[in-house]
Structure 1
Amino acid sequence: MVRMLALPLPNLPFSSLIKERIAREVVAIFNDGPRSERPVVRQNDGLFGPASVTWRVHGDVTSMMVGGIASLLLQMLHPSVLAGVWDHSNFRTDMHGRLRRTARFIALTSYGGRGDAEAAIARVRAIHAYVGGTLPDGTPYRADDPELLAWVHVTETISFLAAWRRYAEPGMSAADQDRYFAEMAVLGTALGADPVPRNRTEAQAVIAAMRPQLKVDDRTREVSALVLNPPAQRRALEPALRLTMQAAIDLLPGWAQRMHGLATPAPLKPLIRAGTLGLAQTLRWARP
């Protein structure tokens, strides 16, 4: 196993200018400038709170980006989840916008006040109520199917937690890991998911139960290619974006990598993980 060291960042006279530049770039990624969106401000009266594990896990930009991409790669392996995106989304022309909206929903439900969080959940449920169709083999699907929502929920939670443990808190206790699933069950239930895991064992059981339904076809490969090769909104961010995508592939369970036909060569894993850790440390330094 590669030991990743936390290297101190320089305390230079111009460090405040560097911090400001990095912070602006991050804000631009996750907030829609033309719509005057601003970062979500943390409120103590939301679904969770300052003492929650959710606040801790969801507060790290790099691990959330890595976990978010990994969760998308897992989600699209379910034909009905993929169909909902394929039939009802503008992902081909606005992948960045879709990812930004998803990130904002997570931020609102994690850190926003209860009213804002509940309003965000209600908007998503209203959209899901109108999304449905038929798979290529004739099987009907609906986005508000509790089982499909459970797959989306569990893939997000296991991926966010896995990325947090790899790049922020490798020594996270088993109790805190279970607490994370228990807290996030509040959100999964509010969105209509069923079953909703409340600990690590239940999460793995949901994954195992769903695996026989997963598959890869031409549509899966097209969507995964779009997810993994988005155009950078800013040229300066291109290297960090590519590194994030490689880290997401590396985070996937081996069986999911094999289904996608993706793999991280063993000699590259230490480089990818060390580079991603460095990126995470830089963003924490810029936005403590």
Structure 2
Amino acid sequence: MAVGYKGYQIDYRRPLGEPALVAPTSPQWRVFKNPIAIAIGGVAAVLLEFADARIRSGVWDHSTYKLDPIGRSKRTGIAAMAGVFGPASAARRIIGGVNRMHRKVVGETPNGEAYRALDPELLDWVSATAAYGFLEAYHCFVSPLSEEDRRTYYRDGEPIARLYGVENPLSSDADFFAMLDRLLPRFEAHPINLEFLAIIQSGKAASAVPKILHRALARAAISLLPDAVRDRLELGAEFDLTVTDRLLLRTAGKLAGKVRSRQSPAWQAAQRLGLPGEFAWLSPAKQRKMVGGRASVRPGHAATLT
């Protein structure tokens, strides 16, 4: 089934043999196939972005988020899935469309500071928050990742980040924290942050997550914020993650990681590459043995499977 995004159709099963931008053996496939990690990490990423008035104003003033949180969240999710699992040609079309929309996003913050979505500093930070947020959510609420896997995850995301115009994609956690340290003096508390969290806790945006988890999801995302950011945003003890919250989300994350859905982009993308649909759910060792030296499943190689 093709999935629509702003007039583009993404069929994860076609064309047969066309590689994705990210190889199926990458930790990116493990992370992005898990809806709990994507939901928690996505909220954490938005909070990190909204900490900067330029990004907060750009999103709130130029997107439909506050009016249509479900639609906006779905479109963002589709773009992310297309980058990791979609045929490379379709992913490039989607990303190109996002970039064209971002060219129109210009304005001023309430304090009169000019911003534009394609500012290199803002592009770098938005990319960094998403990469770090998804990875850390998976690490904390699904399954711990080794330092090697974390570095590989960042490295494998670089081609996607570059297509979005990112000049300094992350290669490590250290890169994220260095970027954070440079921007931290700009961060501030704002009512929009609380309005965004209210939308998340209401369940209007995270439609892939059971309603019983929505409040816990918001607190889990806040728990991923570095302490200095949380202090700047004035997100106090009322947002602390409880023991019950953590248990619920870890259970949900592990269960979600075991559901081998034939409707999942990961399942359909694997089939496009001539691999078993369950490929993304296999152990890394089994994946490597199965793929072997087949060039057609690696990014940047011509499609050869039929």
Q: Please indicate the TM-score interval, normalised by the length of the shorter structure.
A: 0.7 to 0.9
Matches of 1:275 and 1:233 in 2, distance apart?
A: 16
Q: What is the SS of the residue equivalent to 1:246?
A: helix
Is contact 1:129-1:143 (8 Å) kept?
yes
In the other structure, the counterpart of 2:75 is: 101
8 Å CA contact retained: 1:96, 1:230: no
Answer whether contact 2:127 2:166 (CA < 8 A) is retained. yes
Task: Name the % identity.
Answer: 26
Q: What is the rounded CA distance, in whole Å, between the counterparts of 1:245 and 1:104 in structure 2? A: 21
Q: CA deviation at 1:268?
A: 5.1
Match of 2:188 in 1: 215
Say which of 95, 103, 106 aligns to 1:132. Answer: 106
User: Cα distance, 1:265 vs. partner?
Assistant: 6.6
Whether 1:118 aligns to 2:101 is no
| Superposed CA offset, 1:65-88 (max 9, x none) | 111111111111111101111211
Q: Per-residue deviation at 1:106?
A: 0.6
Q: What is the CA–CA distance in structure 1 between the aligned matches of 2:206 and 2:60, rounded to whole Å?
A: 23
- Describe the SS at the equivalent of 1:196: coil
CA distance in 1, matches of 2:243, 2:199: 26
**Structure 1, residues 236-276: CA drift from partner, whole Å, max 9, x if none?**
93203233222212222222222333245799532211110
How much does 1:129 deviate? Answer: 0.8
The separation in 1 between residues aligned to 2:48 and 2:206, in whole angstroms, is 25
Instruction: Sort the Cα spacing of 1:268 and 1:215 in 2 relative to 1 into closer, same or farther, 3 A.
Output: closer
1:80 is aligned, of 37, 42, 54, to 54
Confirm whether residue 193 of structure 1 aligns to residue 166 of structure 2: yes
Q: How does 1:144-163 map to 2 (within 5 A)?
A: 144-163=118-137
Residues 57 and 160 in structure 1, CA contact (< 8 A), matched pair in contact too: yes
Query: Corresponding residue for 1:238?
Result: 211
Q: In structure 2, what is the equivalent of residue 280 of structure 1?
A: 253
Q: 1:237, 1:130 → 2: CA distance?
A: 35
Q: What's the secondary structure of 1:259's corresponding residue?
A: helix
> Which range is displaced more, 73-82 or 53-62?
53-62
TM-score norm. by structure 2 comes to 0.75
CA distances 1:150-194 after superposition (whole Å, capped 9, x unpaired): 111111111111111112222x22121111111212222211123
Q: Which moved more, 1:96-105 or 1:223-232?
A: 223-232
Cα pair 2:37 2:134 within 8 Å, conserved: yes
Structure 2 counterpart of 1:245, which letter? A
The letter of the residue matching 1:277 is: R
Query: In the alignment, which residue of structure 1 is the partner of 2:290?
Result: none
Residue 90 (structure 1) aligned with residue 48 (structure 2): no
Would you say the 8 A contact 2:40–2:220 is kept in 1? yes
| Compared CA separation, residues 219 and 237, structure 1 to 2 (3 A) | closer
Find the aligned partners of 2:85 and 2:33 in 1 and give their Cα distance: 9
Residue 174 of structure 2 corresponds to residue 225 of structure 1: no
Aligned to 1:51: 25
Q: Which amino acid aligns with 2:32?
A: H
- Work out whether residues 41 and 111 of structure 1, in 8 Å CA contact, stay in contact via their aligned partners in 2: no
- For 2:35, the equivalent position in structure 1 comes to 61
TM-score normalised to structure 1 length:
0.79
Uncovered stretches (5+) of structure 1, i.e. residues with no partner: 1-26
Alignment counterpart, residue 182 of structure 1, candidates 155, 164, 169: 155
Q: CA RMSD in A?
A: 2.9
Higher relative contact order (CA 8 A, sep 6+): 2
